[in-house]
Amino acid sequence: MDSLLVYGSYGYTGRLIVSEAVSRGGSPVVAGRNGESVRRQAGALGLDSRTFDLESADLVDSLAEFDAVLNCAGPFVETAVPMVEACLEVEVDYLDVTGEFPVFQRLTGYDEAARDAGITLLPGVGFDVVPTDCLAAFLHEQLPSADRLVLAVSGSGTPSSGTARSLLEIAGDGGVVRRNGRLVEVPAAFRSREIDFGDGPEHAVTIPLGDVVTAAESTGIGSIEVYAAMPPWAARAMSAVDSLGRLLEASPVERAVSRLIDAVLDGPDDRERRESSIDVWGEVSESESDGRRVRATMRTPNPYALTAETAAVAAQRVVDRRSRDDRVPPGFQTPATAFGSEFALEFGGVERTVLETPDD
């Protein structure tokens, strides 16, 4: 994997991914804008390093020697587009670990350009959206006539500072669902329902995860909602944050909150990554009143632990297949369209359970 550049390699998630890649025999080049942090990381792991930022004049030249770039530098609403545009110019495959739906939506707009350049755009090779995307694709395979998809996640844990800053970027923007092939803005937590992830019903509300974009690409389904399990008081708090959106978007306030996030958050420790898990639930259905449906769940390890593995493997696979006849197709891809609906099941601790089939 010496033809891979990992950008933002010294952040919490980047460190986990690079360590995982090295443990698998890879030697990615680590990179970022903080030269001291990059060199320290490279020295500790015996890797090469590069230092540059995404506004530098030599960004394109900095990428030209690589086969693929794995972007771990969030918020991705700020970093994805300049990196993708540079990758297009030098025909380098692009991957990232975003879960931000606006990023996925923006990058779908580069599909034709990526096909023309012969490069793969594969965002979301982390927890969101690998397991949810693979579950959605599996459900659709069981019921190809389905025209509705609901996904939901349940779990808790400590976020990294990068994840928290990404959430800050979209805080106050409300929610989004897909209706008849179009993204529709809705209030935060605008709809709720009870979902049984395996241990009894849990209260869940709609959230704007990236699957409203990626699952549409993976399945062709036009109506999609994504939920997260949370107690009613947390849902009310989401609505309150939505009402404070303009305040959070004010530059001084946003900068102050970002500094606070960096000061108090790093991410889950080793024990939490080993012991915590996440449950994913999915349902596809036909819209007719007597339509059929399929339901399934997927249990995964801690999101950061899983992301380290899925991102490292996805990047290695893209690089390894680049010069072969079975290379990952060019253009915008999702984990499921790139590697198939069983991709998530390749990783330890991931289990899928079918709850209901069309014949039930």
Q: What is the pLDDT of residue 173?
A: 60
Buried-state track 278-294, b at ≥16 Cβ within 10 A, e below 16:
bbbbbbbbeeeeeebbb
Q: Is 278 within 8 Å of 167 (Cβ atoms)?
A: no
Q: What is the pLDDT of residue 163?
A: 44
Q: Collapse the DSSP code of 144 into the 3-class scheme (helix H, G, I; strand E, B; otherwise coil) and give the result.
A: coil
Which sequence spans correspond to the domains of the chain?
A: 4-127+305-339, 130-302+349-356
Q: What is the pLDDT of residue 237?
A: 57
Q: How many whole angstroms separate alpha carbon 82 and alpha carbon 100? A: 16
Q: What is the pLDDT of residue 266?
A: 56
Q: Which CATH class is domain 4-127+305-339?
A: alpha beta
Q: What is the pLDDT of residue 236?
A: 59
CB atoms within 10 A of CB 348: 8
Q: What is the pLDDT of residue 230?
A: 83
Q: What is the pLDDT of residue 311?
A: 98
Number of continuous H segments (helices) and E segments (strands) in the chain = 15, 16
Buried-state track 206-238, b at ≥16 Cβ within 10 A, e below 16:
bbbbbbbbbbbbbbebebbbbbbbbeeeebeeb
Show pLDDT as tens, one digit a residue, over the chain (360 residues): 459 999 999 999 999 999 999 999 999 999 999 999 999 999 999 999 999 999 988 999 999 999 999 999 988 999 999 999 999 999 999 999 999 999 999 999 999 999 999 999 999 999 989 999 999 999 999 999 999 999 999 986 554 444 444 444 444 567 899 999 999 999 878 899 999 999 899 999 898 899 999 999 999 999 999 998 887 766 555 555 554 444 444 444 334 333 433 443 456 678 888 888 999 999 999 988 678 999 999 999 999 999 999 999 999 999 999 877 788 999 999 999 999 999 999 999 999 999 999 887
Topology at the third CATH level for domain 130-302+349-356: Dihydrodipicolinate Reductase; domain 2 (3.30.360)
CA torsion through residues 179, 185, 190, 196, sign: positive
